[in-house]
Amino acid sequence: MDPTQRALSERRFYGGMALAIIAIVFFGFAQSFYLKPMFPERAVPPEPIFIVHGIAFTAWILLVFFQTNLIARKRADMHRKAGAFGAVLAVAMVVLGVLAGLVAAHRPTGFVNIPVPPLQFLAVPLFGIALFALFVALAIAWRRDAQSHKRLMLLATVQLATPAIARMPGLLKFGPPAFFGLTDLLVVALAIWDFRSRGKLHPVTLWGGILTILAQPAQLMISGTPAWLDFARWATGFLG
């Protein structure tokens, strides 16, 4: 693939992935957030923090799409400025993600629309936000390495797709293999792009993909252990 064609294909790939994740998140949270007035019977978290949480996470996904378009338009100057905002937003998202998980796990009824013991299920959002934080931190550290930076940002955003996939109508009943498996298809798409454009996996795709996939069964195995449940009780205990 010649450099010009590769650059065009790269813009299309990352733009398409951003749009795919936007569609996944919108569809997954349509009934409980984006189109809530159209679904009054749908249970939603009552605490205001979840509205702020939803706005922040939506802003991130839109920012990723916006950043992709800036690179396509060769506006690296604006991309850097928006990136500074993105770093601040990422920190806010980590804080909001942890707090939202703790609030939901502390609630007597647990996570809304999730029929799993709340202290046990807390492992899912906390693992997801930890991986998000790790990938974003590495993306910032390697921001001068464009190929690594792009892949790390995409892998960070992929972590946000899992909760949306799990909440798609009718999917939750199939359990973790379904929503984790569909999340992994996004990682597979990145791997396919690597093989098409480079002839081999980029190290970030390889190790980031392995970490993403292995973290899925790991959190399920850990979530029911006495050590995790003790930690979850301790963490939620700060909420009173």
The single-letter DSSP state of residue 145 is: S
The single-letter DSSP state of residue 174 is: G
Domain holding 94, by residue range, is: 3-239
The reported pLDDT for the residue numbered 109 is 76
The reported pLDDT for the residue numbered 36 is 84
| Position 138 pLDDT exceeds 80 | yes
pLDDT tens digits, one per residue of 12-65: 898 899 999 999 999 988 888 888 888 877 777 778 888 999 999 999 988 888
pTM of the predicted structure, to 2 decimals: 0.90
Q: Select, from the ranges 34-48, 103-117, 195-209, the one with the highest average predicted confidence (pLDDT).
A: 195-209
Cβ-based burial of 159 (10 A; exposed 0-12, middle 13-18, buried ≥19):
buried
pLDDT band at 71 (very low <50, low <70, confident <90, very high): low
Q: Are 225 and 122 in contact (CB under 8 A)?
A: no
pLDDT band at 66 (very low <50, low <70, confident <90, very high): confident
Domain count, the chain: 1
pLDDT band at 151 (very low <50, low <70, confident <90, very high): very high
Q: Mean pLDDT for the chain?
A: 88
